[in-house]
Amino acid sequence: KAGVTQTPRYLIKTRGQQVTLSCSPISGHRSVSWYQQTPGQGLQFLFEYFSETQRNKGNFPGRFSGRQFSNSRSEMNVSTLELGDSALYLCASSLVLAGVTDTQYFGPGTRLTVL
Amino acid sequence: GENVEQHPSTLSVQEGDSAVIKCTYSDSASNYFPWYKQELGKGPQLIIDIRSNVGEKKDQRIAVTLNKTAKHFSLHITETQPEDSAVYFCAASRDSDSWGKLQFGAGTQVVVTP
């Protein structure tokens, strides 16, 4: 079974631009979570989607948004990029069994650099 | 909200020795505790997880223990090998109203020297 895939793997943008990152979950997984990883703040939860609905959201500004499609693929968007948005963005997918979110499996991440 | 503290931040061990990483959590409603290993340039990889109805779980050289009363859990790696060198993260979550959210510790850089 293929793992979680994320595209692109690397991105370089300038301040003020916007960016869209893509995540394809493991086949059969319907929950997708997004995390930001930085040396200073570690791994921080951005949001989670299940059945095309955002069920949970972390403490990030409204510039960070996401969506999920009917095939469970997910995208996240960051508008008006700031230097501090430079990070590794990780997505994780999981099964949802009887309302309980199962183990999260992570993709390789997208390395975003904002200049 | 949940807060997870992880110690130590770095750990150097000789090949063949054991390594122990400890985490504490604040939310008594947390009921799921995974451990991830992250190698350079890769995403976190699940190595073992435990739920709150179990006190200990073992998988070959890796074991996790959970003390719900004290709200702490630990990762034990025995007979360490150079390929165990990586950053290890503990995490905690709860099923109710916290869908898909893992609260991570700050990570432990483990270096295994031959």
Average pLDDT on A60-79 reads 97
DSSP A84: G
Left (φ > 0), alpha (ψ -120 to 50) or beta: where does B111 sit? beta
Pairs across A and B, CB distance < 8 A: 65
Q: Which residue has the higher pLDDT, B1 or B47?
A: B47
CB distance A65 to A52 below 8 Å: no
Report the gap between the CA of A79 and the closest CA in chain B (Å).
23
Closest partner residue to A50 (CB to CB) among B89, B93, B99 is B99
| Residue found by looking up tokens 């122990």 in the block | B20
Residue A1 has pLDDT above 80, yes or no: no
Report the gap between the CA of B78 and the closest CA in chain A (Å).
24
What is the rounded average pLDDT for all residues in chain B?
94
Any chain B CB within 8 A of the CB of A7?
no
Nearest CA-CA partner of B58 in B74, B81, B39, B37: B74
Query: Cβ separation of A43 and B49 shorter than 8 Å?
Result: no
Residue A8 preceded by cis peptide, ω within 30 = yes
CA distances from A51 to A43, A84, A95, B90 (A): 24, 31, 11, 28
Residue A27 to residue A70: CA distance in whole angstroms: 13
Average pLDDT on A53-75 reads 96
**Residue A99: what pLDDT?**
66
Residue A23 has pLDDT above 70, yes or no: yes
**Residue B97: what pLDDT?**
61
Query: Cβ separation of B95 and A103 shorter than 8 Å?
Result: no
Query: Cβ separation of B99 and A56 shorter than 8 Å?
Result: yes
CB distance A41 to A58 below 8 Å: no
